[in-house]
Structures are given as C-alpha cells and as structure tokens.
Amino acid sequence: MNQRSFIHSKNLQTIFYPKSVAIVGTNKVKGTVPGDIFTNILGAELNGIVYPVSPRESFISGVKAYRYVIDIPDPVDLAVIVFPSSVCNMALEQCGQKGIKAVIIISAGFKEVGEKGLQKEKELIEIARKYDMSFIGPNCLGVINTDPLSRLNASFARKFPAEGNIAFLSQSGALCTAVLDYAQAKNIGFSKFVSFGNKADISEIDLLYYLMDDDQTKVILLYLEEITDGQGLIKAAQDVIQKSHKPVLIIKSGRTSAGASAAASHTGSLAGSDEICDVAFRQAGIIRCDNIEEMFNIAIAYAYQPIPKSDKIAIITNAGGPGVLTTDAAIKSGLKLAKFSEETTLILKRSLPAAANIKNPVDVIGDAKADRYIASITAAMNDKDVGSIIVILTPQSMTDIETIAKEIAVAAKRFDKPVYASFMGEADVAAGIRILQNHHIPHYILPESICNPLVTIYNFNQKIRSGENREIENTDVNAEIVESVLLDAERDNRTYLPEYLSVKVIEAYRLPVIENRLAKSDNEAGVFADEIGFPVVMKVMSDDIIHKYDVGGIILNINSKEEAFQAFKTINEQVKKAMPEAIIDGIYIAKQIPKGTEVILGIKKDPSFGSVIMFGLGGIFVETFKDVSFRVAPVSKMEALKMINETNASKLLAGVRGMPEMDIESIADAITRLSQLAINFPQISELDINPMIVLEKGKGSFVADTKIILQKST
C-alpha cells in the first residue's frame, strides 16, 4: 500500500462516518443540485451536525449558514462541494486550510469537458496532496451510507435507499438514479452507495479495499466505464475475494469499441482487449455481468440466502410448462436435478393428489393451495440430495397466493437451504411478490432466470473454498542471467534479442531448450556437435539475417563430427555468397528434436492488465481458427492446465484417434515459467515460442524457436 492509498483508506472512513459535514456552495433553490443536496442530507437524519456553507444566505431550512468553510467555528469532518467548477478549487483550498481531510466533489465541468477541465482537475489533486486530503469525484452524484451509525445522504439522488448488505459503486451518476428506483421497487437495500465520477483522487480500487473491511457489506457491485489501472483493480478484487470472501460483480461497458487500441503485435492481434479483460476478471474471481438486471439477480441471491451446499436443485411448481422450461435452463447452466430419497417420495405421495408429479420437478398441479406447497417444500428441505429449492407459482383461480408466499418465507427461515421463487404473471401475483421481497426470498420474473445466479454463487463459493489457483513460484530460475542479458541490450539500445540470447533468457528460467552451443570455427563445430550427441541442426547466427533458410543458413540431420565440420564450412560459404555484407556471429549447433505436436507459447503486453500469456496448438489451429487461450500473468499450474484445455485443439493432445497422449504437464510447466519471467521482467514486451515440440506423456517438450522483443527504454 502506497502512501496515498493509506491516506485514502483513513479518509474514506471519515467520508462514510462523518460527525460533522459542511455542504459547501449550497443554496435555497429546490430542484437544483446545490439546493437538493442540503435537503437530502438533512432529510436522511445524519448522525452528526450539518453546516450549510453559502456565500449569499445566512440560514437555509432554519439552519445557520456560513459564508466560507473557514468561518465554521467547530471542526468539520467532511466537506461536500457543490460550487460551480470555477470556484471549486478555491473551495477545496479552504477545506485544506480548515483541516478537513475528507471531501466529496459533486460539481461537474472537469476532465469530461476537455483540456481546460482536465487542468483544473489536476490542480484539485495537487491541493488534496498538499493537505493530505482525499476526495471522491468530481462530476458525481455523491455518496450514501445507510448504516444507522451514519445515515449519510451526501447526494442529489431523489431517494434514500433501504438498509441492506449490498454495496453499489458506479462511475455513471445517471445510472445510479435508475438503480435506486429499480431497487426500491424490489425492496433491495444497500450498505454503501457511491457514485465516484471522474475518480480523479479516490478510485474504485480504494473503494474496494474499504468495502473489504466493511461489516455492513456482503456483496460488492461495480459499474465501470474506464479501467485506468487494470493490474491494481485485479489485485484489489483478488484481495477482497480471498480475504473477505465477498463476491465482486462488475459491469464493464465498452465491450465492443474496446480493443482498437490494443497492441498490434503478432500474438496481440489474436485477442481483443475486451477478451483480455474477460480473462483477467475470471482469473481474479470477479463475476462479470452484462447488465443491471443480471447483476442484481446474482446479488440478491447471494445477499439474501445461504450459499447452496450442492448444485442439486428441487423444483416445485403448480404448472408443468414452466417446470420443464426451468429444468432445461438448469441443466443448460450446469445445475443438476436432485434425486429424491424413498422417504421423500413416500411423503410426497401421501401429501399430493394422484395426478401430481412426485418426481423432481414436482408438479403440485394447478388447483394446489398452500398445503401442497408446504408439504413439498418441507419434504425437499429434509432430503439430503437437495441443495436448494426453486418454487414456481402461476395464478390459478383457486391459488392462495399470499399464503403461499408467507409459507415460503417461514420455510426459508426454518431450514438452512436457499429458496428462490418465481410467481409468474404481474398484477395477480404482485401482493405475493411483495411478501417474498419483504422476507428476502429472491424473486425472479421468470423461473429460468434463477439458474444462472444460483450456479454463479455455487461456483464462486467452490472456488474460494478450494483455494485453487494459488500460484507457486519456481525456485530453480536464474534471474541474474536474464538481468544481465537485458541490461546489455538496454545499453546497446537493442529492442530485438538475437536468437542465442533469447534462448539464454528462457534457459535461465528452465524452459526446455535443447542443448546448444555457438561455434566460431569448423573445429569447434565438430567438437561441440560431438558433445551434444547426434543428430544435430546447425544455423547461422547473424543480426543481419532474418530468413536463415533462404540464404542457405540452416542444415538439418547432421549425423557425425565430420558432417558437422563440413556443415560449418558449407553454411559460411552459402551465406557469404548470398549476403556478402552480413556479419556472422558464429554457427549455432543444437540437438535435433524428435517429432511431436507443435504448440505456440507467448507473452504479450496488454495496456491495462500488463503481461498476458498465450497458448495455442500450432498450424491451422492458430493461423486459421485463432484457437488460442490467454491468461494474465501470474498463471498458476492449475490455471495453465485450464488454459490448455480451453482450446478446441487441446483434444488432440489428450490422445484421440489412436494417437498417444502427449506431455501436457510439460506445457503447463513451461507456461508457469513464462509467466514468472513476464512478472519478473516487465520490460519484455513480446516473447514468442513458435513452435515448442511436445513429445509423448512423460517425455517432455522442447522449444524449437524463440523470439524476444523488449520495450524501448525511455
């Protein structure tokens, strides 16, 4: 944690729990932002003192007003600035002088309006640094804290939401008002509600760390338009998820327009940067959502109900059709139907009419009243194979909707298995839905919509519990060798490493390079080849030659000392003839690799998320089908195996069609080593291993060709 982060974390506590708040730049005009914000904070009954600061008024709503914030005689914890942007900076300066550390800047007119605004925004940051202040905004809707210890509504939102354990963070202010309205209608409460606007000072990363330790918060939702520090965001989300076990749900907009600015390097061209964002989120355990509805569907399931202990569901319905559709959706999303025990079956048989379906999905039939629902829910709750229960209701003329809703709530409290409900229709079922929502039974308009949230929560919890993806460092690497190679290159202003140096780098990280030497004379060639063992391959080494084959710079299948001796001469002669001006560093001699399956590995740089590791099977699979997978470094061995399995072509490594199973473990090992190299040496901007030859299981792999490109030193 750097110094600013430390200051933010202290000041955020003051932002959410101030004992005194100054509304700087307020006025008496209702229906305007400066006016409404004072009405809102007073109306929410803050657990503390509110001071209006207004150059023109001596009181507002009966509360004594001050001309400037420095005129307030008592200490002030939090300032909320609503002045026009022209005087914002002056106001922030005065807050600093007054000793206020926590600030929310509602005012717009900064970065979002262009260069001039950006300049003013930079000044704000300088002022904040000078006084060790932290601020949220500018250009935001404000901050809400429903905790009774605070009851802060420092926003111009129309509504103060209900208390709850969902935190909502948004870069878009306008979206916040829609969300508050949506949530109120569904009786969804919030712990903290933050519109952070231009995030000039306090960012979503600081907020994530704050919410990690916030006892009021169980789930964190984040709407994000712009990722400024991808690696920081990933680290923060990972910390939150692993340390506090709170799920982090993110909507990241701009899916399709993104990617344009992605680096156009070879491996880079295979993935749009939104794909990298997807991968990075998944690796961190972040649940990425496409829209607000999907986000809240998951959030209420997590916030309101216990976590399902198994992925087996029971469905109880009074209409066959929706039962079948829900079964389809459940299976499709990866859930399973529980298989009832004999006892459960017996109870259902006794409790339901003959025409009912007592198998899962249970159909209590259209004329069912509450008694059949109670009997079925209780039986399912008591059945060991059932992990969670989905209750579906359609409004028939005899259905006692409200009683059934109440009984579902009672059952949910009695047992520790989660219950989700869908009362289908609208006006007829409204009262029942309201009862469910008041009792925190997650309700969905369509029963099918329950399945994805359920499986998402289950998987999230499984992943946390398994502690999977903890990456273990390879300790047998030699960073000093790489350090010295890269320093030399930097000194020489080289960005492209010659092959023998590229090999030296990956060899230092114990990637499976083949035994090799650089011969400077025909005699050396003979000796080295003999030491390596035959057959060998010989290649010319020269910075001036890119296409070695074309100039006769490569000879394969060399089987004796004598042949190696001759080959040295032949290569030299051929190359000199083809490119007389080329400077030859020597002839590279390496063991010839047996046949195997070709794979491609690589490192590329993503502008937001840093080093990305790429894997693909060689040949048509990369070139024609773009069948490759990506991970943001670091990559654990387990993650590397997943990465390999993700490609379609990986089936060919597993030993189909009578082909032998190949050494997949050795690929995964190579990936973790590449990942470690990428993390230790971020100046590597691109690394291509193309191909690596994978042998049969147990026999390892060999890198056949490597290329490393470094970042331009600045």
Q: Rule CB under 8 A: which of 143-202 touch a second copy?
A: 156, 158, 170-175, 177-182, 184-186
Instruction: Tell me how far, at minimum, the Cβ of 325 lies from a second copy, in Å.
Output: 5
Question: CB-wise, 394 or 685, nearer to a second copy?
Answer: 394
Of 28, 98, 255, 591, the one binding a second copy by CB under 8 A = 255
Residue 542: Cβ within 10 Å count: 20
* Residue with smaller CB distance to a second copy, 108 or 207: 108
Q: Which of 240, 251, 313, 501 binds a second copy (CB under 8 A)?
A: 251
Contact letters (x/-) for a second copy, 99-128, by CB under 8 A? ---------x---xx---------------
Q: Which of residues 613-632 bind a second copy (CB under 8 A)?
A: 620, 623-625
Site size toward a second copy (CB under 8 A) is: 71
**256 vs 475 by CB, closer to a second copy:** 256
Nearest-approach distance from CB 443 to a second copy, in angstroms: 14
- Return the SS3 of 359: coil
* Smallest separation (angstroms) from a second copy to the CB of 320: 6
Q: Which range, of 4-12, 98-106, 209-217, 389-397, touches a second copy by CB under 8 A?
A: 389-397
CA separation for the pair 704, 145 (Å, rounded):
59
Stretch that binds a second copy, among 204-212, 548-556, 561-569, 647-655 (CB under 8 A): 647-655
Asked if 223 interacts with a second copy (CB under 8 A), we say yes
Identify the residue whose tokens are 């940067």.
273
- Of 427, 493, 580, 595, the residue at the interface with a second copy (CB under 8 A) is 427
Q: Binder to a second copy among 2, 3, 256, 493 (CB under 8 A)? A: 256
Q: Shortest approach of a second copy to residue 453 CB, angstroms? A: 15
Listed in sequence order, the DSSP H helices in 509-636 are: 522-532, 561-578, 620-623
Contact 153, 40 (CB under 8 A): yes
**Which stretches of 367-434 are assigned E, i.e. beta strand?**
388-393, 419-423
Q: How many CB atoms lie within 10 A of CB 442?
A: 28
User: Judged by CB under 8 A, which stretch of 129-137, 441-449, 510-518, 635-643 contacts a second copy?
Assistant: 441-449
| Helical packing angle, 292-304 and 451-466, nearest 10° | 60
**398 near a second copy, rule: CB under 8 A:** yes
176's tokens: 């916040």
Asked if residue 260 binds a second copy (CB under 8 A), the reply is no
Which secondary structure element, helix H or strand E, spans residue 317, and what is its range? strand 312-317
Neighbours of 476 (CB within 10 A): 8
> Can you tell me which of 2, 3, 397, 493 binds a second copy, judged by CB under 8 A?
397
- Site membership for a second copy, residue 652 (CB under 8 A): yes
43 makes contact with a second copy (CB under 8 A): no
Is residue 331 a contact point for a second copy (CB under 8 A)? yes
Instruction: State in Å, rounded, how far the first CA of the chain is from the last one.
Output: 26
Tokens of 686: 């691109």
Burial class (CB in 10 A: 0-12, 13-18, 19+), 692: buried
| 608-633 b/e (C-beta count within 10 Å ≥ 16 → b) | bbbbbbbbbbbeebbeeeebbbbbbb
Q: Which is nearer to a second copy, 90 or 331 (CB)?
A: 331
We find the least distance from the C-beta atom of residue 496 to a second copy, in angstroms, to be 26
CB nearer to a second copy: give 292 or 582.
292
Binding to a second copy, residues 480-539 (CB under 8 A): none
Q: Does 396 bind a second copy (CB under 8 A)?
A: yes
Closest CB 451 distance from a second copy, rounded Å: 11
547 binds a second copy (CB under 8 A): no
Cβ pair 538, 570 in contact under 8 A: no
Rounded least distance, CB 377 to a second copy, Å: 19
Does 339 engage in binding with a second copy (CB under 8 A)? no
> Contact between 278 and a second copy (CB under 8 A)?
no
**Spatial contact of 605 and 700, defined as CB atoms under 8 Å apart:** no
Task: Look at residues 398, 396, 336, 394 and name the one whose alpha carbon lies nearest to residue 361.
Answer: 336
Three-state secondary structure readout of 509-539: CCCCECCEEEECCHHHHHHHHHHHCCCEEEE
Cα dihedral 681, 682, 686, 689 sign: positive
Measured CA to CA, the distance from residue 700 to residue 696 in angstroms comes to 7
The footprint of a second copy on residues 301-330 (CB under 8 A) is 318-322, 324-325, 327-329
* 3-class state of residue 463 by DSSP: helix
Q: Are 563 and 578 in contact (CB under 8 A)?
A: no
